[in-house]
Structure 1
Amino acid sequence: MTTKQSTREELRAAAAGGYTARHLSVLEGLEAVRKRPGMYVGTTDSRGLMHCLWEILDNSVDEALGGFCSRIEVVLHADGSVEVTDDGRGIPVDSEPRTGLNGVEVVFTKLHAGGKFGGGSYQASGGLHGVGASVVNALSARLDAEVTRSGKIHRMTFRRGEPGTFDDKSGPSPDSDFTPFVNGSQLEIVGKAKRGVTGSRVRYWADEQIFLAEAQFSYSELVARARQTAFLVPGLTITIRDGRVRGSENEETFMFDGGLSEFVDYLAVDPAVTDVWRLQGSGEYTETVPVLDDRGHMVSTEVSRTAEVDVALRWGTGYDTRVASFVNIVATPKGGTHLSGFEQALLKSCRKVIESNSRRLKVGNDQIEKDDVLAGLTAVVTVRLAEPQFEGQTKEVLGTKAARGIVSKVVSGELEAHLTSNKRQDKQQSQMLQEKIVSEMKSRISARMHKETQRRKSALESSSLPSKLYDCRKGEVDNSELFIVEGDSAMGTAKKARNSEHQALLPIRGKILNVQKASIADMLSNAECASIIQVIGAGSGRSFDLSAARYGKIVIMTDADVDGAHIRTLLLTLFFRYMRPMVEAGRVYAAVPPLHRIEVIHPGSKGNEYVYTHSEAELNAVLAGLAKTKKRYKEPIQRYKGLGEMDADQLAETTMDPSHRTLRRVNMADFAGAEGTFELLMGANVAPRKDFIIAGAAELDPERIDA
């Protein structure tokens, strides 16, 4: 053995000898939560802060699920605290036999303690692990719990999970002097309540030692969660109040009797192909779980369970899929066994019905796939079962295996009944849905074949692109730009104004097809739409591949008039509906051509100056500035009716030259808002558009209308 090897062996032996049981840390109680908060709430930023609020809110909602609560109120206070009040049964206040502590202290200080393990108090609940309230308490600088039961109002306060009393001479605050309980703890009675009145109130201040300084409660997320919960628990009233900024308090109240059907109507934004169908049922299953016996020992016991399935769904004319899944009103954004069973049943039922009508639908030998069925689907999938198995405390994925088979069986039976019904309305909607699914299948196959054809073509073959495309010379995607130009007159000027190295031109003839109303087949058969999709080269709809796009920027260049705005809207509708990733990536732009050109006269040998303006307001401001500086300009001021009126130098300087032009990037920060706007302006339903036009008629300047 060499000297170096000997040294390494000695160091390793010394290190091993020094690592003994004394070096192991044993975290007890709520210490573990404060040491590793991410394990329980995910993160210590705003998401973790909101997760704590969901834990407290879900405890109140569980009371509503059991039929004991009809009203919940959430208040965001100006001092950074949040308060959740309900009219449920209230947390038990009597002594818990094993620990000797009152029920409030057990719930807020003991991990894995609560009324949701044995199944006696809650048949189906969102809180399952018994750590929610105690985790929030551990991560709070202060928590106040008030319980109304048996005609009395009980109160208990905690600091970072430790029970005690605060000296609140100047109002409740986590900075008040705190005295922990030493010889046991007590539940203080602070008032009386009317007979029959019960409920709980929890107010807490998140600990700044745990959460990041920039962590904030999100009012919009809270409102969305409250609305969602009110849909899932029909009849429950939830009030949200934001009092963080004095003088600008917000308050919203949600209550829906329609339940999931109303929820689907709220989520769906595209025109309907079917009505909202409600699929309901239940199934039995058994599982072996550890149960606490009378002696306090965990014994493996086989228990019988019931899973209740409630699904609301409808298909629309679009191709986007919106499926929200829940277990006992807890959202499962990453799905799980219940969602797998739902999708399995959809595919199985639709395949079965379409195969029986394959000759009428002209399906041939092609196979329906899941994406074909999910296109345009809006659905809410809920299951209620006792003690569901989740993957982790954040409950994002359901793991209960039996749920898959039960959901699949219920959905298959109920959906096939709708699809094969002899009722006139159901039969008509079933036929429309089958035609839509088959159309999606054919579009998918067509897009795949087109992509395979493109791959087989060599780089020298250009015949696949439209003859009217004036392509750029360089193939660098990042620096390339495609200008979609309105009209041939503008095209002639644009050819001279462009930089042919990296700027391509594609002319279109007037107003293209309104794809918001048209079917996919009509869109693909439209020459202008097909040319745009073909030139961009990334496909359309679900098969759109952003990485295959041939250009880094798409610039819509239309005249600065009402018709130009209409054409631009039609083109944006095409991109939003069938090439949305381009918009989401910020690669779609609208050119901003000027409306006016002012020739400012300079005396002497100095040449005249040209000033471009883009609106009447900007023109008036420029003219006022010239008058103030006593500068003269040529009359009349040139008013551009269209891009074709400009010469090449003017078009290049104002609209195409990157060093001088102005472009508006089209973004989509609010998806639901954008969807609603496109449906309002371009959809098949005329009445809302008429109301919108009438409401805004007074604000329209008649001079802007080219008539």
Structure 2
Amino acid sequence: MVTAEYSAHHLQVLEGLEAVRKRPGMYIGSTDSRGLMHCLWEIIDNSVDEALGGFGSRIDIILHPDGSVEVRDRARGIPVDIEPRTGLSGVEVVFTKLHAGGKFGGGSYAASGGLHGVGASVVNALSERLDVEVDRGGKTWAMSFHRGEPGIFANGAPDSTFTPFDKSSELRVAGRAAKGVTGTRIRYWADPQIFTKDAAFNLEELEQRARQTAFLVPGLEIVIRDERASTQASAGGPVETSYRFDGGISEYADFLAPDTAITDTWRLTGTGAFTETVPVLQPTGAMVPTAVERECVVDVALRWGTGYDTVTRSYVNIIATPKGGTHQQGFDAGLMKVIRTQVEQNARRLKVGNDKLEKDDILAGLTAVLTVRIPEPQFEGQTKEVLGTPAARQIVANVVTRELTARFASSKRDDKAQTSLLLDKVVSEMKARISARTHKETQRRKNALESSSLPTKLADCRTNDVADSELFIVEGDSALGTAKLARNSEYQALLPIRGKILNVQKASISDMLSNLECASIIQVIGAGSGRSFDLDAARYGKIILMSDADVDGAHIRTLLLTLFFRYMRPLIEDGRVYAAVPPLHRVIAVNAGSKPNDTIYTYSEQELHALLARLTKAGKRWHEPIQRYKGLGEMDAEQLATTTMDRAGRALRRVRVSDAESASAVFELLMGNEVAPRREFIVDSSANLSRESIDA
């Protein structure tokens, strides 16, 4: 029964860490694996902040078999002396009091990722057990907590008997530390009452974030050791990876770049000062609004490449801000101002006319890492995804404008050549955008199909239903002849290609478009390419790559996947690209009497041997020799239809983005411009080569 009475005794006051356990999503975003990972990074970031301040150069992260995780560093160690206002040790204050820490305007940290003083205490509140050890002053100090409450466990298990402290808590001395050795070790077990059953630490995500942090803090080594049972079963033992990069964000930008560079990786650095009024804690315990001088340090690494994808990463005090904020706005504003000014000054050479650059024209092919360091930045929420400090916008814009303008004004030969190439690329992107828009506005798909001259070698289908139609890209004219007889011409179209198409991984856009095979594929699909690609305009519901089941066929399929991944990626993302699976062998099993013989197709050597073993066990014979298809052209129309083209019996492999990404990465390794990685791959992999697998 709902009552209308509402008075003060209906209000709940959640004391201390009770609020965190009541509303965990408010502090860590969610209670699934994402929230679990957020807790881990709250602990790791505290160690990273120490390294950022010059204390400690190594952080160890250990995923234990019992589900716990441990973070070790060799920094200054959490203070162990008594905090005068609470009468508690520094360790207990950090792990039990919300909004307590050394990052609120004191002299301990110039800039840090932990800003709200809730990280360690929130993790403690959401842990079934948390153990902390601190090496400081020649001693090892230790303390344990159960769901945020300090006390003593009977043994090392998280579910062992826990005895909370009665009157006063104790930071016990657990041993002696070597002279001059300081550091912190934190191990905790996430609380199953809070987190979902399937919540687990994601090793791939952890490694990715560790690599990112190592890039952002040059000289810091982060070691991850996975001792979980599932990992050891699959890997044959614990997996340990280490990350350390001395090149900083310049090395990070080169790592992120998806294309061949047309400029070097440029560093734009500078500082700016601003004043803001913030509450400052006075010795009396009162918070007094005070005008404080701040310094914002800006460091940007950026480069342009031949592609059109944009890769940007922004960080504040090494904390990622995936949704941007004021620093990202300042970067975009400064970038646009400089490039527009340079294009206007070179308008005659670039033949710009009255057209105006847009943001996307400038960002095409850009890889940038933007970092700012600000004391006590303003974030939107504890997850820190958006920077809100207003002054950062103008400071970043000023630094980018000043440094980039100086780069364009440089008299060095390399700088002149690179800036000239950059302006040419930006203007060509603008012209391509305007041309694509004009084409889209003046020509509908129907008119394009009726008036455009599609390649003569295209054997089109009759249906107008895009979702039901299929385009088979066939290897060679011999396979085309058989495929024409095997297809259902109502909804299956055929486009033959001659051998291996252009390697678009290292070819320019103009080379790709001038290549007859690539241009034919783009024209037949009818949806454009690159940034102007329009998925709704695609003429076919499925694109099926049908190549021979041999090494050359795999090579051709990889080349085609690279073309689709780089220039028609929405087709892959929408699940419209497939690879046909033609058989390798045809076995005719002899039946007794007048019963017709069975025709069986196999798709691998292992499958063939398994089939022959079954036939032998059943006492059946088969015709020798067993037919092995070296190519699609060796099949007759009935065989090709039955095995590869007829919807009733065929098998198709859907190409996922990860498949195309790996194909692109393999091609960059094996056929890209960089020779050193290819040589290293050949030397390292030669021992694994099976001579029997060489198709020669």
The TM-score, its normalising length taken from structure 2, stands at 0.93
Alignment-derived partner of residue 324 in structure 2? 335
Q: Which residue of 1 aligns with 2:77?
A: 90
Distance apart, 1:686 and its partner CA: 4.6
Residue 586 of structure 1 aligns with which residue?
575
Give how far 1:401 is off: 1.3
State the shift of 1:579 in Å.
Answer: 1.0
1:317 to 272, 294, 306: 306
Cα gap change, 1:146 to 1:687, in 2 (>3 Å): closer
Secondary structure of 1:478's aligned partner: helix
Q: Secondary structure at the match of 1:351?
A: helix
Closer, same or farther: CA 561–249 of 1 in aligned 2, 3 Å:
closer
Q: How does 1:503-542 map to 2 (within 5 A)?
A: 503-542=492-531
What amino acid maps onto 2:465 in structure 1? Answer: E
SS at match of 1:120: coil
Give the equivalent residue in structure 2 for 1:195: 179
Partner of 2:434: 445
Asked if 1:231 corresponds to 2:215, the answer is: yes
| Structure-2 separation of matches of 1:459 and 1:331 | 45
Matched residue SS, 1:461: helix
Unaligned runs of 5+ in 1: 1-10
Distance change >3 Å, CA 127–CA 70, structure 1 → 2: same
Alpha-carbon distance, 1:702 to partner: 6.8
Instruction: Give the whole-Å Cα distance in 1 for the aligned partners of 2:388 and 2:569.
Output: 33
Q: How does 1:346-385 map to 2 (within 5 A)?
A: 346-385=335-374
CA RMSD between the two structures:
2.6
**More deviation, 671-680/657-666:** 671-680
**Deviations 1:564-613 (CA, angstroms, capped at 9, x unpaired):** 33332221111011111222333211122234434444454433433334
Equivalent of 2:545 in 550, 556, 560 = 556
The equivalent residue for 1:241 is: 225
- Further displaced range: 565-574 or 239-248: 239-248
Does 2:87 align with 1:100?
yes
Taking a change above 3 Å as real, the CA distance of residues 633 and 324 of structure 1, as seen in their structure-2 partners, is same
User: Structure 1 stretches (4+) deviating beyond 6 angstroms?
Assistant: none
Deviation at 1:201?
1.7
User: Is the CA contact 2:29–2:35 (under 8 Å) kept in the aligned structure 1?
Assistant: yes
Letter in 2 for 1:661: R
Deviation by residue 1:146-199 (Cα, 9 ceiling, x = unmatched):
22222222222211111122222xxx1222222222222222122222332222
How many Å separate the matches in 2 of 1:582 and 1:334?
Answer: 26
Q: Give the conservation status (yes or no) of the 8 Å contact 2:561–2:660.
A: no
CA distance in 1 between counterparts of 2:687 and 2:489 reads 43
Q: Does 1:39 pair with 2:39?
A: no
- Distance verdict in 2 for CA 1:155–1:603, change over 3 Å: closer
Say whether 1:386 aligns with 2:375. yes
1:145 pairs with 113, 125, 132, which one?
Answer: 132
**Contact 2:565-2:661 at 8 Å conserved across structures:** no
Q: Which whole-Å deviations, capped at 9, do the CAs of 1:428-483 have from their partners, x for residues lacking one?
A: 22222223223322332333233334327559835364444333333333322111
| From 260, 276, 281, the counterpart of 2:249 | 260
Q: How far has the Cα of 1:630 moved from its partner?
A: 5.0
**Bigger Cα displacement from structure 2, 673-682 vs 249-258:** 673-682
Asked whether the 8 Å contact 1:269–1:675 carries over to 2, the reply is no
**What CA distance in whole angstroms lies between the structure 1 residues aligned with 2:184 and 2:35?**
23
Q: Give the drift of 1:27.
A: 0.9
2:63 aligned with 1:64, yes or no?
no
Aligned position for 1:181: 165
Distance 2:307 2:491 in 1: 34
Alignment of 1:659-678 (within 5 A): 659-669=648-658, 673-678=662-667
Tell me which amino acid in the other structure corresponds to 1:375: A
Is 1:430 equivalent to 2:419 in the alignment?
Answer: yes
* Partner residue of 1:210 out of 194, 209, 214: 194
Question: Quick one: structure 1 residues 310 and 163, their matched pair in 2 at CA, closer, same or farther if it must change by over 3 Å?
Answer: same
Q: Could you tell me which runs of 5 or more consecutive residues in structure 2 were left unpaired when the two chains were aligned.
A: none
Alpha-carbon distance between aligned partners in 2 of 1:701 and 1:40, rounded to the nearest angstrom: 57
TM-score by length of 1: 0.91
The 2-side partners of 1:22 and 1:370 are apart by: 56
Which residue, out of 179, 189, 204, partners 1:220?
Answer: 204
The aligned residue for residue 98 of structure 2 is 111
Please tell me whether residue 643 in structure 1 is matched to residue 632 in structure 2: yes
* 2:21 aligned partner, one-letter code: R
Opposite residue 609 of structure 1, the aligned amino acid is D
Shift of 1:378: 1.9
Superposed CA offset, 1:298-333 (max 9, x none): 222221110001111222222222211111011111
* Counterpart code for 1:655: T
CA positional deviation for 1:350: 2.1
Alpha-carbon distance in 1 for matches of 2:67, 2:111 = 32
Q: 1:595-606, aligned counterparts within 5 Å?
A: 595-602=584-591, 604-606=593-595
1:121 CA displacement: 1.3
Provide the identity percentage.
70
Secondary structure of the residue aligned to 1:257 is: coil
Q: Assess if the C-alpha contact under 8 Å between 1:353 and 1:420 holds in 2.
A: no
Write the distance in 2 (CA, Å) between the matches of 1:369 and 1:488.
45
